Amino acid sequence: MRVRALSGRRRPSVPAAPLAPAAVIAAVLLLLPGSAPDVAPAPLPTFGWSRYFGVTLPRVPADLGDLERFEQSVGRRADLVMWYAAFDSFPDFPSRDAAALLARGSIPEISWEPWVGTGGVEQPAYRLSTIINGGHDEYIRRWARQIRDWGGPLWLRFGYEMNGNWNSWSEGVNGNRPGEYVQAWRHVHRLFEREGARNVVWVWSPNVDSPTGVSLRDVYPGDDVVDVAALDGYNWGRTQQWSRWRTFEQVFATALDELDSLTSRPLVLGEVGSTEMGGDKAAWVKNFFAALDRRGGIRGFLWFNYDKETDWRVQSSPDSLAAFRAGLSQYGR
């Protein structure tokens, strides 16, 4: 997540036995194209729960102790653990970090960012056309081979929030033209296919709002190259001049309806969070879990547990944490 110009953006107290890594791998491989060619596509694996719970934390995966403490505080192990990897900062696929997460029973998910992470929006060297025309093929192929050779399941969220104006890979900024995002996605996917990296779950994750008016349909690469559809959305409350307190439905409903008409791929919330400023966060969290129950088609979520533009963390207050822990205890049961 980045600062945006428009709002949009388990371990029990008595720990349950973690799912064996082999079982995690077997479950996730059910999602992968070609893994079972003679069998109908399988539903999302659930690891003993009917829906996914995931998180992204500032010091994880480098500090798994931080993840352990978070899980203890919310009362459940994370099925998915996500972190961010910019092209310039990660010359190689971080296989050790991914393996460490998998060994403890959590599936690794990487938000793969085609840019220099500190370079801002205008980065000509990372225009979508440079990806389409093969300017980054050597790097992309190297990652694909390393992921293939690593062999574990990986959720890969390439070029997320592409319908915003705060990332260099968004159409309408950085010299990018309409249609180029889809071309770039399909080019990257094709390189992975050629390298035999079939242990990847491809996660397409737009923002709930688009300040430039880009529709989800305009930037959807197609069911043949997307495994999981996701949405990123935040209750910014009164943290910005342009923002106001919004319920879950006010944040997500319009985009969810648009997505329902676009694809039947399994749906998760790729990033979600709420501020304390402008309303009752504990009540918001309670409503969040109630909304997930009402909308049974949402197969999971990842909480953005950062103190960044505002304190998005579930533990931003004792009441917020208590509400989150209570909701999570019943989520997916």
pLDDT digits (tens, 9 = 90+) for 202-240: 999 999 999 999 999 999 999 999 999 999 999 999 999
Give me the catalytic one of 113, 180, 271, 276.
271
Nearest CA to 206 out of 236, 228, 223, 237 is that of 228
List the domain boundaries for the chain.
21-330
pTM attached to this predicted model: 0.88
What is the pLDDT averaged over residues 50-69?
A: 96
Give me the catalytic one of 71, 161, 171, 180.
161
Confirm or reject CATH 3.20.20.80 for domain 21-330, answering yes or no: yes
> In terms of DSSP H, where are the helices of 195-314?
248-260, 281-294
Only one residue has tokens 């010359």, namely 91
161 is catalytic: yes
Confidence of residue 49 (pLDDT cuts 50, 70, 90): low
Residue of 34 and 122 predicted with greater confidence: 122
171 is catalytic: no
> In terms of DSSP H, where are the helices of 151-247?
180-194
Which long-range CB contacts under 8 A does 194-198 form with residues at least 24 apart?
194/141, 194/144, 195/141, 195/144, 195/145, 195/148, 196/144, 196/148, 197/144, 197/145, 197/147, 197/148, 198/32, 198/33, 198/34, 198/35, 198/148
